[in-house]
Structure 1
């Protein structure tokens, strides 16, 4: 699983480096629910001047019996609606979660769990370069196959 996480982060960095040559369409936002599970801070980059493919990555958390660090990464596609500031958004994400496992002989192990998170939602850009969105989807546990319906709300700024 650690190899999968490293591969995913490598792909994310490669895509971000390739996107540097395209038109700057950047977003920074906070998200409740969504790909970060409970909460996250994210950066998103749209790859072209027109709405279309983009990528987002962030740092988040999840707390159930203990505190888990999450690293949400997703590829998204924006579909423009009649109003040029409103979009439908479809995304496929993978969220590794890092947590401490039980110590063995005074040694703390850090384990990684992965969640696949497909989402679909609505996004609105405001005149002041702010953005909000709401999305629905499912959190799918890769190790155990458990499926949980999920909702996310984001608010941030375009720069």
Structure 2
């Protein structure tokens, strides 16, 4: 019972600590996860759309384009330049990737860490609402080598 109470208390405290920080939940096509992903992004600064932040997500290739099903988990840090609704996003990500096909269907069994950079535009309203981002995202150390020409488009909801 003491553990449950402690976990509950820590959860409430952490929610209050991040209550006024800008959050952005979005689906991304392309980008760091290569195909599709669902992501959560949050600023470290209170009451602001800009500044230092982080992103975590989960993605998959869903077996598209006749390749193996690949699961990805992007984790990154980013900085948004610009006050107000419009900003320039610059970031670096590590993407953990594994082959998700059943053993009998796998063409290759791999686990990999892909590195990527983000440079792009983010629209975030000053209040809660629809948000958008478009990024140029070169990928490094993929199974195919470096992919210098890759883009991502994310659409979601932003709130405080």
Partners of 1:143 and 1:18 lie apart in 2 by 38
Give the TM-score of the pair, scaled to structure 2.
0.73
Q: How far apart in 2 are the matches of 1:100 and 1:19?
A: 34
What are structure 2's unaligned runs of at least 5 residues? 1-12
**Does residue 32 in structure 1 map to residue 29 in structure 2?**
yes
The number of residue pairs the alignment matches comes to 137
Find the aligned partners of 2:70 and 2:94 in 1 and give their Cα distance: 15
Q: Distance in 2 between matches of 1:146 and 1:124?
A: 29
Deviations 1:28-86 (A, max 9, x none): 110000112100001111111231010011110134521000001111100005xx110
Which consecutive unaligned segments of at least 5 residues does structure 1 have?
1-16
Consecutive aligned runs of 4 or more in structure 1 exceeding 3 Å deviation:
17-20, 100-104, 142-145
- Superposed, which structure 2 residues align to 1:1-159 within 5 Å? 21-22=17-18, 23-49=20-46, 50=48, 51-62=50-61, 63=63, 65-80=67-82, 84-100=84-100, 103=103, 111-126=110-125, 129-141=129-141, 145-159=145-159
- Structure with max Cα Rg: 2
How many angstroms apart in 1 are the aligned matches of 2:15 and 2:144?
35
Contact 2:69–2:101, Cα closer than 8 Å, also in 1: no
CA RMSD of aligned residues (A): 2.8
